[in-house]
Amino acid sequence: MQDRKLLSPDAIRAEFSAALSSMYRKEVPKYGLLMDLVADINAEVLQDQPSLRAALLANESLARLDQERHGAIRLGTEEELAVVCRMFAVMGMEPVGYYDLGPAGVPVHSTAFRPISTSALAANPFRMFTSLLRLPLVEDPTLRDEAAAILARRRIFTPKALELLALAETQGGLDAEQAADFVPALIETFRWHGDATVDSETYARLLAAHRLVADVVCFRGPHLNHLTPRILDIDAAQVEMPRRGVDAKSLIEGPPRRHHPILLRQTSFKALDESIVFAGTSAVTGAHTARFGEIEQRGVALTRAGRALYDRLLEQARSGDEAVSYLDRLTRAFEAFPDDLDAMRREGLAFFRYRIAESAEKTQDVAHLSIEALLERGIVRADPIVYEDFLPVSAAGIFRSNLGDTIGSSYALQGSRVEFERALGREVVDEIRLYEEAEARSIAEIRVALSPTVPA
């Protein structure tokens, strides 16, 4: 039997994200502008804040700073979701989190396919925010059936990608040569196809039902709709974007600016109007807004208690007095969220990774001390764990910025995690569990490191 040397899923994911990035730069010229802006602002911030630079260097994220963090796609059917799940598994990406965007007026439910382990995230952090259209939310039954029939006819994966997927599943992975074929074959699925699968009249009817429905249903596949690099100062970027001719959405999604960032803040801009050719015609006959640019700034991951507080304060700001600007309401509401790392830690609001301080003296027996006592004595330090996931209210805001604010308010029919998981063919990973485990593991490692060595 031939012994194949399989490539690590991390390496395949790195190839995939690099290939997506170069495809997107070609497809969406304005995206290059955004990348330049991000590189400039990140360089400035690093120069101004040597301590941040040192922290990024210490956790090995400095080198990958300007690499894209995530992309987003929208799928039309449960079958597409099931296959996408298997495709991403080849690249070490698992579905993490369940996001129901219906309450925020977007007829999808979503997950994020992403690497899970600290080492995999460090090797390549790329993740894909993946939404599934919820056709039952289309009110008109005739239109709904028509949309379902159109989607049932399309084949979004190339035969090559499907063949290599089957091979990966039987072999337990792909070797370098196979991966070099797999990545471009899979990328085809996420490419922009300007030729619509429907005529202009059908497109117009679907567009009238919901812009998102038209975007998902009328094309040959789930075109990548944005790629998102990481920015170290999103407020600076928000100011800089219009200066460089990039039309930013008016508000940054997520928590307000803080001294110690929490969760995730995002902003975006409409990238371009695509020309489309409708079925049955040969000339360019329409325009469609599909793709955009986005940037994100990430902060510390919150515990269930911290997240509940975040959700409550956000809701307070959103439903507050309209005579006061949203930004003021947000700032005021979040005064109730401590902006001090140690307070967040002691109050159990955020997750930390504990480690033995480099400066700690390797002295007498301290194994009996509590973590708090170890911290106080400087033997142990606590570093915030970065939030790697998404926020449903923010995600809905990003959808809206691209689709137009005219989209409906709230869908009464709740999304169903169980239904989503049935389509996926597996359960989604609970993102908060991952942070709990990472924190607990770091404490266990300290216990091992400090335990007195047993004499041989």
Chain residues binding ligand OOG by CB under 6 A are 72, 74, 129, 131, 225, 266, 294, 390, 394-395, 398-399, 402
State which of positions 106-165 bind Ni ion (CB under 5 A). Answer: none
Locate tokens 């216990």: which residue?
447
φ, ψ (nearest 5 deg) of residue 429: -80, 140
Q: Which of 168/395 has CB closer to ligand OOG?
A: 395
**What is the closest distance, in whole angstroms, from the C-beta atom of residue 101 to ligand OOG in the complex?**
8
Distance CA 329, CA 327 (A): 5
Task: Please tell me the count of residues contacting Ni ion according to CB under 5 A.
Answer: 3
| Type of residue numbered 454 | V
Compute the least distance from the CB of residue 426 to Ni ion, in Å: 23
127-133 and 68-75 strand pairing? parallel
- For the record, the structure tokens of 421 come out as 């998981």
How far is residue 66 from each of residues 39, 201, 311, measured CA to CA in Å?
Answer: 6, 42, 30
In the complex, the smallest distance separating the C-beta of residue 106 from ligand OOG, rounded to whole angstroms, is 8
Measured from the Cβ of residue 404, the count of other Cβ atoms closer than 10 Å reads 10
Shortest reach from residue 394's CB to Ni ion, in Å: 9
390 binds, among Ni ion, ligand OOG, none (CB under 5 to 8 A by kind): ligand OOG
Residue 114 CB, shortest distance to ligand OOG, in Å, is 12
Tell me how far apart the alpha carbons of residues 216 and 76 are, in angstroms, rounded to a whole number.
6
- Mapped onto helix, strand or coil, the DSSP state of residue 443 is helix
Closest CA to 281 of 200, 192, 193: 200
Distance CA 314, CA 452 (A): 47
- Which of the choices ligand OOG, Ni ion, none does residue 23 contact, using the CB cut-off of 5 to 8 A by kind? none
How many contiguous H segments (helices) and E segments (strands) does the chain have? 18, 11
Q: Does 388 bind Ni ion (CB under 5 A)?
A: no
Q: Are 192 and 27 contacting, i.e. CB atoms less than 8 angstroms apart?
A: yes
Nearer to ligand OOG, 112 or 174 (CB): 112
Decide which of ligand OOG, Ni ion, none touches 77; Cβ closer than 5 to 8 Å per partner kind.
none
**Nearer to ligand OOG among residue 168 and residue 262 (C-beta):** 262
Pairing label, strands 380-384, 352-356: antiparallel
Q: How far is the CB of 131 from Ni ion (least distance, A)?
A: 10
Select the binding partner of residue 225 from Ni ion, ligand OOG, none (C-beta < 5 to 8 A, by kind).
Answer: ligand OOG
Angle among Cα 105, 127, 345 to the nearest 5 degrees reads 85
**Both structure tokens of 354:** 């504990």
Among Ni ion, ligand OOG, none, partner that 354 touches (CB below 5 to 8 angstroms by kind): none
**Choice between 96 and 446, CB closer to Ni ion:** 96
Q: Which does 399 bind (CB under 5 to 8 A by kind): Ni ion, ligand OOG, none?
A: ligand OOG
Minimal distance, residue 69 CB to Ni ion, in Å: 9
Q: Residue 84 corresponds to which tokens in the numbers above?
A: 């996408």
Contact 119, 59 (CB under 8 A): no
How many Å apart are CA 231 and CA 360, to the nearest integer? 33
Nearer to Ni ion, 34 or 196 (CB): 34
d(CA 65, CA 24): 19
CB of 268 to Ni ion, least distance (A): 7
Residues 218-257 that bind Ni ion (CB under 5 A): 228
Comparison of 196 and 386: residue with beta carbon closer to Ni ion: 386
Question: Nearer Cβ to ligand OOG, position 75 or 300?
Answer: 75
Angle at 201 between CA 108 and CA 288, to 5 degrees: 55
Within residues 51-80, the interface with Ni ion by CB under 5 A covers 72
Task: For residue 294, state whether it binds Ni ion (rule: CB under 5 A).
Answer: yes
- Residue placing its CB nearer to ligand OOG in the complex, 137 or 398: 398
- DSSP state string for 221-235: S----EEEEB-S-HH
By a kind-dependent CB cut-off of 5 to 8 A, residue 74 interacts, out of ligand OOG, Ni ion, none, with ligand OOG
Give whichever of 129 and 182 is closer to ligand OOG, judged by the CB atom.
129
Q: Which is nearer to ligand OOG, 38 or 165 (CB)?
A: 38
286-289 vs 264-270, strand pairing mode: unpaired
Q: How far is the CB of 282 from Ni ion (least distance, A)?
A: 35
Least distance CB 274 / ligand OOG (angstroms): 15
Residues that bind Ni ion (CB under 5 A): 72, 228, 294
